[in-house]
Amino acid sequence: MLLRQIITAAGAALVALVCAAPASARIIEVGAAPTVATPTCPASPCLAVSRTTGYQTKVVDDRNTFVVPRAGRIVAWTVGLGNPDERQIDFFNTNYGAASARLTVLRRGERLYSRVVGMSPVMPLTQYFGQAVQFPLDTAIPVKRGYMIALTVPTWAPALTQLLADGSSWRASRPKDGCDNTETQTAQSRSGQLTQYRCLYRARLTYSATLITNPRPNPEPPAEGRRRQD
């Protein structure tokens, strides 16, 4: 009888632990959207991002898709790549160099200024054409709520959709009078770098970032409750 009571009590304690509000971290894909963004290549024209840093300002009518929702760490990033044909690859490689990209974290300010507060290493992309490739980070990037997740392309990357009329848009780190200049290097490459993102394009960049949020501790019990326990 005593053994049965002990087992029953232990089972009740286990159920209480399972039912308790978890304080564990959450895994969130920043940039995940209800609709899939499909890169254009190898269609004609094959549109690519080149020599700039860009962030998605809107996905249809949502302005927060690429905004960090909670403090934590970015542990991986993903880029969806089109599959350009040999002629298209030769054109871009000749003009911009081999395809490559990195993830960049921005802290936005006023007048479209943003500062680089974190970045991943630059990754070569050619061998992953036609795939959505995820790159784990050896060193996680700490982020705060409100930071913006961006994509930096020092050369070129087939990570851009066709022009859209659904309200989606992204901004590039180019000056207002240089929105059509895709050859000048404007990619942000240093931590702390500050620039204006003046150019707006009606399309979607095909990238995202994996966030592990900081765990939230249980709330402090009221003082009266603590006295009763004592």
**226 lies in some domain:** no
DSSP-H helix ranges across the chain: 2-19, 86-96, 223-229
User: Which amino acid belongs to residue 54?
Assistant: G
Separation in Å, CA 37 to CA 26, 47, 211: 24, 13, 20
Q: Taking the model in full, what pTM does it have? A: 0.85
**32 lies in some domain:** yes
> Kindly report the CA angle at 187 between 137 and 107, in degrees rounded to 5?
65
Task: Enter the DSSP assignment of 178.
Answer: G
What is the span of the domain harbouring residue 202? Answer: 23-214
- How many domains does the chain fold into? 1
- Band (pLDDT 50/70/90 cuts) for residue 7 is very low
**11 lies in some domain:** no
Residue 92 is predicted with a pLDDT of: 98
Mean pLDDT, the chain, integer: 90
**141 lies in some domain:** yes
pLDDT digits 0-9 by tens, 33-88: 999 999 999 999 999 999 999 999 999 999 999 999 999 999 999 999 999 999 99
